[in-house]
Amino acid sequence: MHKFRLLDALNAPEEDMDSPSDNQRAPLPCPSDVLYTPPNPDGSNKKCGNCVMYATGRGQCYIHEPALSIRPTSVCGYHVFCFAPMRMFTSVVSMQALTPEQSGLIQTEDGTSCSSCKYFAKDPREQGGECMAVIDPSSLPAFVEEKGCCARWTLGAPSLSEMLDESMEEEEEEEDLDEDEDLADDEAGY
């Protein structure tokens, strides 16, 4: 129930004369439309330091300009997991390099995953949860894995799952207070 209130708030039209009507808004994409990838086999976050296109010795990426120094905690939309990235490139194929804007290259604290995205709502019974930024075929928030990630990743501040947890904790505290008041009333003879 709380998830739907948050989803309604995220999808609520802005109070703006220029905002498009509901029938003009594009629907949310499916996970595959935003390059959703499942968790890395070792359970790590997606980052350059575990990408096959990254050379750790010089902080270079195979698809970016060689002069661009990239931190191992950065990540872009072209991430392909590997257990042991190369130290140095042994050869370089001549290709047009991508700019950071084209690849979506960003600096992060420790890579990306759904669990650190503001659109992720953790399901405590599962190894994942709902993503409020993508939909499944029935037009509901899609189920994604905690350590998966997609191109819509946005650092949470706080995440939806944290907001849901806080909201549930507040309701539980209110229920506890109501129970305490009822108990006090009973003891006082009211």
Domain co-membership, 129 together with 105: no
What is the number of domains present in the chain?
2
> Does 67 fall in a domain?
yes
Domain co-membership, 123 together with 86: no
Q: 3: which 2 tokens? A: 């998830």
Domain extent, residue 134, equals 1-9+113-190
> Does 24 fall in a domain?
no
**Cβ neighbours of 106 (radius 10 Å):** 14
> Does 5 fall in a domain?
yes
Q: Which residues of the chain have pLDDT under 50?
A: 1-9, 14-17, 159-161
pLDDT tens for residues 94-131? Answer: 678 999 999 999 999 999 999 999 999 999 888 899 99
Burial string for 40-69 (b: 16+ CB within 10 Å, else e) reads beeebbbbbbbbebbbeeeebbbbbeeeee
**Cβ neighbours of 76 (radius 10 Å):** 24
Amino acid identity of residue 103, one-letter, is S
Give the C-alpha separation, 175 to 27, whole Å. Answer: 38
